Amino acid sequence: IRCADAAMYSAKQSGRGQYRFFDPSLNLTDINEFSLEQSLVAALSERQFILHYQPQIRLDSMQVSGYEALVRWEHPQFGLLYPDRFISLAERSGFIVALGWEVIRLALEELKGWSAQGRSSRLAVNVSAIQLRQADFSERLLSELAQRGIEAWQFELEITETVVLDDEGMAVEHLERLRVAGLNISLDDFGRGYAGFAHLHSMPLNTLKIDRALIAPLSNSYDDNPIVSSTITLAKRLGLTVVAEGVETRDQLVYLKLAGCDIAQGYHFSRPMSAEQLYQYAPFTRTAEPVCG
Of the pair 161, 189, the CB lying nearest ligand C2E is at 189
Judge contact between 238 and 204, C-beta under 8 A: no
Largest CA distance in the chain: 64
Does residue 110 bind Ca ion (CB under 5 A)?
Answer: no
Within 4-43, which residues bind ligand C2E (CB under 6 A)? none
Helix, strand counts (H, E) of the chain:
12, 9
Does residue 262 bind Ca ion (CB under 5 A)?
Answer: no
For 130, other C-beta atoms within 10 Å of its C-beta total 19
Q: Which residues contact 35 (CB under 8 A, 6 or more apart)?
A: 5
**DSSP H or E stretch at residue 22:** none
* Span near ligand C2E by CB under 6 A; candidates 8-16, 31-39, 162-170, 242-250: 242-250
Strands 263-265 and 49-58: antiparallel
The amino acid sitting at 44 is L
- Residue 138 exposed, middle or buried by CB count within 10 Å (0-12, 13-18, 19+): buried
Q: Among 171, 212, 218, 228, indicate the residue that binds ligand C2E (CB under 6 A).
A: 212
* Span near ligand C2E by CB under 6 A; candidates 21-29, 108-116, 240-248, 281-289: 240-248
> Site map for Ca ion, 53-92, x if CB under 5 A?
----------------------------------------
Q: Which residues contact 68 (CB under 8 A, 6 or more apart)?
A: 53, 54, 56, 123, 124, 125, 126, 158, 265, 272
Of the pair 248, 251, the CB lying nearest ligand C2E is at 248
Size of the site for ligand C2E (CB under 6 A): 21
> Site map for Ca ion, 113-132, x if CB under 5 A?
-------------x------
Q: Among 39, 65, 126, 231, indicate the residue that binds ligand C2E (CB under 6 A).
A: 126
Q: Is 235 helix (H, G, I), strand (E, B) or coil?
A: helix
Q: What are phi and psi of 109, to 5 degrees?
A: -65, -40
CA 195, CA 206: separation in Å to the nearest integer?
A: 19
Does residue 122 bind ligand C2E (CB under 6 A)?
Answer: no
Q: Among 82, 153, 194, 197, indicate the residue that binds ligand C2E (CB under 6 A).
A: 82
> Site map for Ca ion, 147-186, x if CB under 5 A?
-----------x----------------------------
Least distance (Å) between residue 183 CB and Ca ion:
15
Residue 13 C-beta-side C-alpha neighbours within 13 Å: 14
Does residue 189 bind ligand C2E (CB under 6 A)?
Answer: yes
Residues that bind ligand C2E (CB under 6 A): 54, 70-71, 82-84, 87, 103, 125-126, 128, 158, 188-189, 212, 246-248, 266-267, 272
Positions in the binding site for Ca ion (CB under 5 A):
126, 158, 188-189
